[in-house]
Amino acid sequence: MQPIDILRTYWGFKSFRPLQEEIINSVISKKDTLGILPTGGGKSICFQIPGLFFEGITLIVSPLIALMNDQVEILKKYHISALAFHSGITQREADIEYSNIRNGKYKMVYVSPERIRSERFKDAIVETPIKLIAVDEAHCISQWGFDFRPDYLLLSELRELLPNIPCVAITASATPQVVEDINKFLFFGKPANVFRQATFRPNLNYVVLQDENKNARLLKIVTKVKGSGLVYTKNRKSTLRLAKFLNENGIVADFYHAGLTVEERNQKQDSWKKGFTRVIICTNAFGMGIDKSNVRFVAHYDIPDSVEAYYQESGRAGRDGEESWCILMYCKPDRSAAELQLDSKYLDRKKIQQFFNALCSHCQIPYNGGLDECFEINVVELASKYKLQLPEIQSALNMLEKEGVLKLSEAYANPPRLRIVSDNLGLYKFYLNNPSYEVFIKTILRMYGGVFDEYVQISEFEISKNLTLSVDRVKLGLKRLTENQLFDYLPQSEKPTFSLLIPRQVDVPYDTQRWKFLKQESSRRLKAAFDYAESHKCRQSEIAAYFGESPNELCGKCDVCRNKRKSLGESINQVSELLKTNFNQNYFSLEQILNKVGSDSFNLEAFRFIMDSGQLDKNKDGLFKWK
């Protein structure tokens, strides 16, 4: 079948979206190809259709397990054999799947970039009929990118292992520097086949709202703009707080973040997709692979870390082409808070060394020991013992992991959680009959706000400190209250651990230049996000310019354009009427048109607005007429 036949047979679409067909034709011609399509532009089809066109297997490198699983489930619904090969499968499952991959059981095999480190994986793929390499979220390969993943640099090894196999890289956003890095690290030939769809989305209204009272403004947005929406915020606590706030004001809302179980995430996504939940309050963990066409608004309660992130997340609005809103909420104190948060993500060598020494001492790891050993880690206990802040511990662990010093287990990201399922009267009756539990229950209520409404993350260690009980006694108490249907206590399925990838050393590895560079790049991207928020230029033009495009039209729909149109209202009407009457048949020079417009400053400004909005047609000779 030809690509259009595959599209109609499997996906049921009659035609391709913009640039999809050009990218697909380049790939099936076995040319290395980079496709840059906006969120909702149908990026995955650009490698899935060539994967079905070729006889063998397509190997897809993807950064997130959740994204892999989502895409595999969708492919299975279309009766396309696919596998997500990630760290969540057991060793026995891996043994079986290696055999299946070698035997060509699957058309699409999704892997994380970390998998390329495995010698067993390398041995398997060179014995496998792989016909295409696809790199999803390709911007992750660039240190200039907003979501740099060091393991993406391993893709160069993959290309060396499969030297004659074409590669297609897909992303939603890439600055010229990021495009250069993708070409460089994926060994694309010159000139590479690069297809970039313009960032301009005519149905989106971009708005920046400066307001100190964000809650009131958010409620106004959600009340005024009908239909389903997303509200992005930077931390997990805010997702719970804002969801509760909206529900208390009659809006059916839910929260979403990376700390939820897979079942909880799926349930929340499904409820929102089907329209039972109107608004999802989420961190940036929500969105990749989520295909909902009728999102009427995407609001950002906090300013994002970069223009790239904002463009991707806001682009989830209006995929169906209908009028939709992209709203950034902003106030002056946001800048200092964001800069402080950025500083906490990048610790200097001294702090990393101090943390590593504390971690090793806490786990009783001797010098030159610990290689490939697994150790339990309790961050709350560690923080208390060595007077460390939890965000500082998080940053240190992430940096050590990226330096190749240690590897964190998946359980690290899933702490124990608790929800009270009884009402106050039920609790009161219980501790009247069981007085020894009164202080226990009241201490938990005091420590964890919102525990009646949603599941909250807890620390049995912190509870034990407040109650001067052993951790085991606390866990027994929580379990008993759960058995009595007062609490719903979800203990950690397994204890969080880390493995040392190198022996303990006197001087921990720390690439000063690299971390300095990454911090500077993060700072640059954050500044660009604030520049966007404070700009007085057309919002869509600002976004286009950031990605290296040269827009010659104003969107006419953002808050800046609307305000300008409002201030020039009568002048725009007069000049538009003049142009329609005198310059709608033939083409004229700019000088001839300006002579008719006159020298009045308001009329000249109105003419500039009309011209920048693309309402004049320009021919190859540089002459103009009314469209």
3-state secondary structure of 338: helix
Calpha distance 451→444 (Å, rounded): 9
The pLDDT of residue 367: 94
Which residue would you say has higher pLDDT here, 617 or 46?
A: 46
The pLDDT of residue 414: 61
With bands split at pLDDT 50, 70 and 90, how would you rate the model's confidence at 423?
confident
3-state secondary structure of 418: strand
The pLDDT of residue 81: 93
3-state secondary structure of 274: coil
The pLDDT of residue 457: 77
Q: Strand 279-282 and strand 253-256: pairing? A: parallel
Task: Decide: 45 and 7 in contact? Cβ < 8 Å.
Answer: yes
265-312 pLDDT, tens per residue? 878 988 999 999 999 999 987 876 566 889 999 999 999 999 998 998
Mean pLDDT along residues 359-365: 94
- The Cα-based distances of 64 to 86, 92, 113, 130 in angstroms read 9, 22, 10, 22
In whole angstroms, what separates CA 526 from the centre of its chain? 16
pLDDT surpassing 80 at residue 62: yes
**Could you say which DSSP state residue 127 is in?**
T
In whole angstroms, what separates CA 250 from the centre of its chain? 28
Task: Decide: 305 and 146 in contact? Cβ < 8 Å.
Answer: yes
Report the candidate in 96, 16, 93 with the shortest Cα–Cα distance to residue 48: 16
Please, what's the largest Cα pairwise distance for the chain?
Answer: 93
- The Cα-based distances of 130 to 62, 78, 102, 138 in angstroms read 17, 21, 10, 20
Tokens of 326: 């992209």
403-414 pLDDT, tens per residue? 889 988 765 656
Please write down the HEC assignment for all residues of 482-497.
Answer: HHCCCEEEECCCCCCE
In angstroms, what is the C-alpha Rg of the chain?
28
**Could you say which DSSP state residue 198 is in?**
-
The pLDDT of residue 175: 87
Q: Computed from CA positions of residues 147, 152, 153, 159, in that sequence, does the dihedral angle turn out positive or negative?
A: negative
The crossing angle, in degrees rounded to 10, of helices 91-102 and 119-126 is: 20
Mean pLDDT along residues 17-46: 90
Which residue would you say has higher pLDDT here, 235 or 347?
A: 347
pLDDT surpassing 90 at residue 608: no
The pLDDT of residue 203: 93
Which residue would you say has higher pLDDT here, 34 or 202?
A: 34
pTM of the entire predicted model: 0.74
- The Cα-based distances of 50 to 7, 10, 162 in angstroms read 10, 13, 17
Calpha distance 512→491 (Å, rounded): 39
Surface-to-core class of residue 424, CB atoms within 10 Å of its CB (0-12 exposed, 13-18 middle, 19+ buried) = exposed
Contacts of residue 420, Cβ cutoff 8 Å, sequence gap at least 6 = 427, 445, 451, 452, 486, 487, 488
The torsion angles phi and psi of 438, rounded to 5 degrees, stand at -60, -50
Cα–Cα–Cα angle for 394, 304, 216, nearest 5°?
110
522-561 pLDDT, tens per residue? 999 999 999 999 998 899 999 999 988 876 678 888 999 8
Mean pLDDT along residues 407-436: 81
User: What is the rounded end-to-end Cα distance, in angstroms, of the chain?
Assistant: 42
240-266 pLDDT, tens per residue? 899 999 999 999 999 998 777 767 887
Tell me the pLDDT of the chain averaged across its residues.
Answer: 88
